[in-house]
Amino acid sequence: MKNLLALKPYLLRYKRQLGEGFLFIILTNILAVAGPKYIGNAIDAMQGPFRIENILGDAAMYVLFALLSGVFLFLVRQKIIVTSRHIEYDLKNDYYSHLQLLSRSFYDRTSTGELISRGTNDLNAVRDFLGPGIMYSISTFFRLLFAVIAMVALSPALTFFALLPAPLLSYLVYRIGRSMQKRSKSIQESYAELTNLVQENLNGIRIVKSYTREPFETERFAQLNRKYYDKNLELAKLQALFFAILTAMTAFSLIPVIWIGGIGAIRNEMTIGGITQFIVYVSMLSWPIISIGWVTGIIQKAASAQERLNEIFATEPDIPASEPSHSAAKQTEKPKGELSFRNVSFHYPSQPDAPVLKNITFSIEPGSKIAFVGATGSGKTSLVSLIPRLYDPSGGSIHIDGRDIRSMPPEQLRQLIGFVPQNNFLFSDTIEHNIGYGRAEKTDPESIAEAARIAMLHPDVADFPERYQTMLGEKGINLSGGQKQRTCIARAIARDPAILVLDDALSAVDTATEASIFDALLKKLPDTTIILIGHRISTVKNCDRIFVLSEGSIAEHGTHEELLQENGLYAELYNMQLLEEEILALS
């Protein structure tokens, strides 16, 4: 239950609407409890000579009270249920906004399906608590309170016997409620597994079909779905047992009322109308008592869901976002793009005993064209990921234009950098919007086209019927691998960055296109510092300086000619690629 205390700020935000709903709950229950008095009066009036007008008057009053109770119940739902939707809206916005702030390391260890499950299924469970859960909890309390007061006024002895099962009921609510919460949490975790499997399979559907693994994946889904089904069935059985016990208790409580009340009527200690009124009150308590089980289920499910949401909200970004005032701050002077690493070491948060980079030190002058090469796993991608602070180094410092990047707001830092990662990603939007995505302000069509020209994408787009307004499928499925890479490069160029990072971003284009792109970058972006990760010597040989990484350290650095003269790792890589080219030419 303490998990639900996290909802207090949201409830306080709508305290006026909830207060009005609270008032309407009291009024609807007062009117509902006041109505049966007129039933008792009408029955007692018929025990002797009576006038039909009096009976009809009592009936009319009962109907009036019932109608007024219904009107206020409608207003209750308008206030509390509608407010629950407002809070759900706020929660979803806050949840999504918080996800946007979390660091890359969080997404390295958390699956997409898990996050979707918490943002949908768990949030729906919380909304049910905020709406029906709160409404019926408060309504049940006041219905019980007012009905018991009316019952005590009629007969304290009968009230005692009618409420005799209450202690046992409280014990059952406590014990079964705890069991419900455990089962609810298990169900939500199972649903997250199911969601993650579906999301993963839909993203990889082309691989599934290519390897004809449809039966295997269908079986995996069936097993997880069965697990989810069984857990839900267990909870449903527990709830059914709970409702059955509550209903039975309500029915059994009528037996002493009818027995003892009948004896009282024979002895003229109670009237028939009074007994009837009392039985109506006991029956009136049946739904509140039964609803205790239903509301208990809602509350326990919401408590489990909110616990899972609290885990996300409690997660702080490794690299905190800046205050709005800082992020909006403008550069006082145009950034130069000077970059230096000073004794930088790095390990991933999940692998503190496996250093990826060790004491990396180098400086890059503004406007330089630099390349990093090395074997797979040597740390190239990890190194460039530190520049925009996707991760922070474990030791040492990184400086841009003489300033430690940790002293810069992340938003301001990343505005200086155009980053093209290994795994390119395109949105299901137009080519124009994908290229202009990196700029906060609207980019004019000519700037989009110019960025595409530099990336050698413009000739391809010119052949599309809708040119830059061509809609891309999911992840740019209707583009070739090379076109996707060039679109991502154009997106980075359109940002007009001081530092452009290309992480193996030319691997899907042919050698001639690669040379054209690099030549265009040299001519069109002479003042931009370009950091290139590549595997082809043809890609990197024209760079001002080349760094060779080996096992997380800089093994060699220099120009293409200097490194060949050293006859080290770079020369070995160069000779191997020459041999591969000769073999291909002969084949």
What CATH number is given to the structural domain containing 246? 1.20.1560.10
Q: How many domains does the chain have?
A: 2
Residues 207 and 355 in one domain: no
Q: Is residue 392 part of a domain?
A: yes
Positive/negative CA dihedral, 317, 319, 321, 322 = positive
Domain boundaries, position 201: 2-313
Which pLDDT band, with edges at 50, 70 and 90, does 26 fall under?
Answer: very high
Residues 303 and 358 in one domain: no
Q: What is the pLDDT of residue 72?
A: 93
Q: Is residue 566 part of a domain?
A: yes
Q: Is residue 274 part of a domain?
A: yes
C-alpha distance across the termini of the chain, in Å: 72
Q: What is the pLDDT of residue 321?
A: 59
Q: Is residue 214 part of a domain?
A: yes
Residues 79 and 208 in one domain: yes
Query: Residue 555 sits in a domain of what CATH number?
Result: 3.40.50.300
Which pLDDT band, with edges at 50, 70 and 90, does 327 fall under?
Answer: very low
Q: What is the pLDDT of residue 322?
A: 52
Q: Is residue 504 part of a domain?
A: no
Nearest-angstrom CA–CA distance, 289 and 140: 8
Show the tokens assigned to 9.
């700020």
Q: Is residue 241 part of a domain?
A: yes
pLDDT for 443 beyond 80: no
H or E element that contains 553: strand 553-558
The residue written with tokens 């020209």 in the block is 453
Residues 282 and 364 in one domain: no
Residues 263 and 384 in one domain: no
Q: Is 306 helix (H, G, I), strand (E, B) or coil?
A: helix
Burial of 171 (0-12, 13-18, 19+ CB in 10 A): exposed
Q: Is residue 25 part of a domain?
A: yes
pLDDT for 207 beyond 90: no
Listed residues 261, 279, 313: the one ending a domain: 313
> With helix as H, strand as E and coil as C, how does 93-145 read?
HHHHHHHHHCCHHHHHHCCHHHHHHHHHHHHHHHHHHHHHHHHHHHHHHHHHH
Nearest-angstrom CA–CA distance, 102 and 60: 62
| Residue 370 bridge partners (DSSP) | 531, 545
Show the tokens assigned to 274.
């009074």
Alpha carbon of residue 12 to chain centroid: 23
Q: What is the secondary structure of 221-275 as a DSSP string?
A: HHHHHHHHHHHHHHHHHHHHHHHHHHHHHHHHHHHHHHHHHHHHHHTTSS-HHHH
Q: Is residue 239 part of a domain?
A: yes
Residues 139 and 103 in one domain: yes
Residues 59 and 134 in one domain: yes
Listed residues 281, 313, 345: the one ending a domain: 313
Average pLDDT, the chain: 84
Which pLDDT band, with edges at 50, 70 and 90, does 400 fall under?
Answer: very high
Cβ atoms of 468 and 431 within 8 Å: the answer is yes
Residues 21 and 72 in one domain: yes
Instruction: Render pLDDT for 453-494 as a digit per residue (tens, 0 to 9).
Output: 888 888 888 888 888 888 887 777 888 888 888 889 998 898
Q: What is the pLDDT of residue 472?
A: 86
Residues 113 and 74 in one domain: yes
> With helix as H, strand as E and coil as C, how does 489-505 read?
HHHHHHCCCCEEEEECC
Listed residues 313, 345, 379: the one ending a domain: 313
pLDDT for 128 beyond 80: yes
Residues 52 and 16 in one domain: yes
Residues 165 and 308 in one domain: yes
Instruction: Render pLDDT for 65-104 as a digit per residue (tens, 0 to 9).
Output: 989 999 999 999 899 999 999 999 999 999 999 998 888 8
Instruction: Render pLDDT for 336-383 as a digit per residue (tens, 0 to 9).
Output: 889 999 999 998 877 888 889 999 999 999 989 999 988 888 888 899
Q: What is the pLDDT of residue 429?
A: 85
Give the residue-averaged pLDDT of 428-448: 83
Listed in sequence order, the residues at least 6 apart from 34 whose beta carbon sits closer than 8 Å to its beta carbon are 65
Residues 30 and 141 in one domain: yes
* Beta-carbon count within 10 A of 25 CB: 26
